[in-house]
């Protein structure tokens, strides 16, 4: 699944119509969640029927395209809850919650149409939002119309966006480089590879974080409900958006460079939720955007036919990459000095070499030669498009 995103250009009354559609989506979604909580044994098809009842009962619900109503019901997350319960997934089951700040409405294959040049989107349901010009660098003409499985309208601080979810296996063949690399995602550098090269952390987040804090303080200082507060909130929202885009751009650029120049990439499978327990590391984790990077690494490797292996984190920084002996060191010891084979390496460089060796071993063990996708594989990629600008193929 690829997501192509465009900014929607239209008039104020058209945006107001989009707002109405978004509010209605939230209404339907919450009604479905309520029904599910109040009655026992509600099935997805019950909810579908309930959507039709809502449409008769409430004028505005009737205006929303029927498939979009269904999509709203699905978004009540009830399906996910069922699935997690059945699969006995440990931890949170994703119990349906009420949504208060809905920002999107999702159409399936009806309720919208594109003009011939595919540069204008018309919404054809009862809200009569009309025709929007699509602003963006991507070309929808590259794809067949029936590849567009969903059209999602997303409201952000700086305007309205149309996301086109395309059912396309994006595959690009590139010449094999014959190179394998291990990378150690770190704190002092964004990553260190098994050849000892480093990629620096992006600079923006630290600077942006300060700006965000300042803008947040300004919002808090204004009187609730005032115009000035609304303006300050707008500024804060736009800044957040900018930070997200910078993070994504860095993740895409870095992951693409790595994928283009290697055939096999091994990294340590850092479970971010486990690592956040270490408070000192927590900030760097969110700053560096490892998760975003790793997601893009997986996705781009798939696109370019490369292999990515996530190796379990186990003594990668303790073991000697020269002889395999365990050389205990604290977090502050930045150099690996092996008393057994006299290997001396930068701590992260040593770890990256271990990660590469573990990755290659894991690959040799899987007969198919395909690495198992990690938890942030493609399905996550698709879902992320719903909540942020984070995961739009570019
Ligand atoms: Zn050694």
| Res 139: pLDDT | 74
Is residue 389 predicted with pLDDT exceeding 60? Answer: no
Rounded Cα–Cα distance for residues 358 and 322 (Å): 13
Spacing, Cα 316 to ligand 1 middle (Å): 13
Rounded Cα–Cα distance for residues 5 and 195 (Å): 37
| Res 6: pLDDT | 95
| Res 387: pLDDT | 28
Q: Where are the alpha helices (DSSP H) in the chain?
A: 12-38, 44-57, 59-63, 66-74, 78-86, 204-221, 227-261, 272-275, 279-288, 290-303, 347-365, 378-387
Spacing, Cα 349 to ligand 1 middle (Å): 14
Range list for CATH 3.30.420 in the chain: 180-199+249-366
The reported pTM is: 0.61
Mean pLDDT of 78-88: 67
**Torsion angle of C-alpha atoms 166, 172, 178, 183, degrees rounded to 10:** -30
| Res 378: pLDDT | 33
Look at 81-95, 247-261, 305-319 and tell me which has the smallest mean pLDDT: 81-95
Spacing, Cα 325 to ligand 1 middle (Å): 6
Which run of H or of E encompasses 194?
Answer: none
| Res 91: pLDDT | 65
Q: How far is CA 151 from CA 75, 238, 387, in A?
A: 15, 23, 14
Spacing, Cα 343 to ligand 1 middle (Å): 5
Spacing, Cα 352 to ligand 1 middle (Å): 15
| Res 243: pLDDT | 78
Sheet with 198-199, strands from edge to edge, namely 198-199, 191-193, 180-185, 264-268, 307-311
User: Tell me: the pLDDT tens digits for 138-155?
Assistant: 778 777 788 899 999 999
| Res 283: pLDDT | 56
| Res 52: pLDDT | 92
- Residues of 125-144 as b/e, b for ≥16 C-beta within 10 angstroms? bbbebeebebebebebeebe
Rounded Cα–Cα distance for residues 119 and 140 (Å): 8
Is residue 275 predicted with pLDDT exceeding 80? Answer: no
The band of 242, judged by pLDDT with boundaries at 50, 70 and 90, is confident
Q: Among candidates 65, 33, 60, 40, which has minimal Cα distance to 50?
A: 33
| Res 392: pLDDT | 41
Spacing, Cα 328 to ligand 1 middle (Å): 12
| Res 78: pLDDT | 66
Is residue 371 predicted with pLDDT exceeding 70? Answer: no
Is residue 386 predicted with pLDDT exceeding 70? Answer: no
Spacing, Cα 296 to ligand 1 middle (Å): 34
**Sequence-separated (6 or more) residues with CB below 8 Å from residue 194:** 181, 182, 183, 349, 352, 353, 355, 356
What angle do helix axes 290-303 and 378-387 make, rounded to 10 degrees?
Answer: 120
Catalytic annotation, residues: 184, 268, 348
Is residue 214 predicted with pLDDT exceeding 70? Answer: yes
| Res 210: pLDDT | 82
Is residue 280 predicted with pLDDT exceeding 60? Answer: no
Spacing, Cα 176 to ligand 1 middle (Å): 32
Tokens of 376: 């942030």
User: Tell me: the pLDDT tens digits for 171-197?
Assistant: 777 778 889 999 998 877 889 999 999
Spacing, Cα 353 to ligand 1 middle (Å): 12
User: Tell me: the pLDDT tens digits for 286-340?
Assistant: 555 787 788 788 888 888 889 999 888 878 889 999 999 999 988 788 999 999 9
More confident residue, 161 or 331: 161
CATH 1.20.120 fits 180-199+249-366, yes or no: no
Are the CB atoms for 36 and 42 separated by under 8 Å? Answer: yes
Is residue 87 predicted with pLDDT exceeding 80? Answer: no
Mean pLDDT taken over the chain: 81
User: Tell me: the pLDDT tens digits for 51-78?
Assistant: 999 999 999 999 999 999 988 888 776 6
Is residue 88 predicted with pLDDT exceeding 80? Answer: no
Spacing, Cα 323 to ligand 1 middle (Å): 4
Rounded Cα–Cα distance for residues 170 and 42 (Å): 38
Angle (CA) 41-45-47 rounded to 5° is 75
Spacing, Cα 298 to ligand 1 middle (Å): 32
| Res 338: pLDDT | 94
The band of 39, judged by pLDDT with boundaries at 50, 70 and 90, is confident
What residues does 133 pair with on adjacent strands? 9, 120
Rounded Cα–Cα distance for residues 42 and 48 (Å): 11
Rounded Cα–Cα distance for residues 80 and 108 (Å): 19
Percent of the chain with pLDDT over 70: 81
Spacing, Cα 340 to ligand 1 middle (Å): 5
Are the CB atoms for 296 and 255 separated by under 8 Å? Answer: yes
More confident residue, 331 or 5: 5
Spacing, Cα 196 to ligand 1 middle (Å): 17
Rounded Cα–Cα distance for residues 180 and 266 (Å): 8
Full DSSP string of 144-162: -GGGEEEEEEEEETTEEEE
| Res 278: pLDDT | 52
């Amino acid at each position: 699944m690829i997501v192509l995103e465009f900014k929607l250009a239209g008039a104020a009354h058209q945006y107001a119509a989009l707002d109405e559609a978004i509010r209605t989506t939230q209404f339907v979604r919450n009604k479905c969640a309520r029904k599910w909580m109040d009655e026992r044994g509600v099935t997805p098809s019950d909810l579908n029927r309930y959507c039709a009842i809502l449409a008769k009962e409430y004028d505005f619900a009737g205006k929303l395209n029927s498939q979009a109503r269904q999509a709203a019901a699905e978004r009540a997350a009830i399906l996910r809850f069922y699935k997690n319960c059945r699969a006995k997934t440990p931890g949170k089951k994703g119990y349906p919650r009420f949504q208060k700040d809905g920002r999107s409405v999702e159409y399936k294959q009806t309720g919208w149409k594109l003009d011939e040049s595919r540069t204008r989107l018309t919404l054809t349901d009862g809200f009569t939002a009309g025709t929007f010009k699509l602003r963006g660098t991507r070309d929808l003409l590259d794809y067949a119309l029936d590849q567009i499985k969903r059209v999602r309208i997303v409201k952000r601080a700086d305007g309205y966006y149309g996301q086109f979810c395309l059912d396309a296996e994006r595959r690009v063949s590139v010449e094999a480089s014959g190179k394998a690399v291990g990378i150690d995602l770190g704190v002092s550098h964004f990553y260190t590879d098994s050849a000892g090269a480093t990629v620096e952390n992006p600079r923006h987040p630290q600077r942006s974080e300060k700006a965000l804090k300042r803008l947040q303080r300004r919002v808090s200082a204004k009187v609730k409900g005032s115009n000035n507060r609304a303006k300050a909130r707008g500024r804060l929202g736009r800044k957040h958006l900018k930070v997200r885009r910078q993070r994504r751009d860095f993740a895409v650029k870095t992951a693409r460079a790595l994928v283009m120049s290697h055939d096999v990439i091994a990294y340590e499978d850092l479970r971010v939720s486990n690592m956040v327990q270490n408070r000192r590391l927590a900030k760097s984790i969110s700053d560096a955007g490892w998760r975003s990077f790793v997601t893009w690494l997986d996705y781009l490797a798939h696109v370019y036919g490369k292999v990515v292996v996530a190796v379990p984190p186990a003594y990668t920084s303790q073991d000697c990459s020269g002889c395999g002996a365990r050389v205990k060191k604290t977090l502050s010891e930045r150099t690996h000095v092996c008393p057994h084979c006299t290997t001396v390496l930068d701590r992260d460089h040593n770890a990256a070499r271990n990660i590469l060796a573990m990755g290659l071993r894991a690959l040799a063990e899987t007969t198919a030669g395909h690495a198992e996708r990690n938890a942030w594989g493609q399905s996550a990629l698709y879902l992320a498009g719903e909540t942020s600008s984070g995961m739009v193929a570019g």
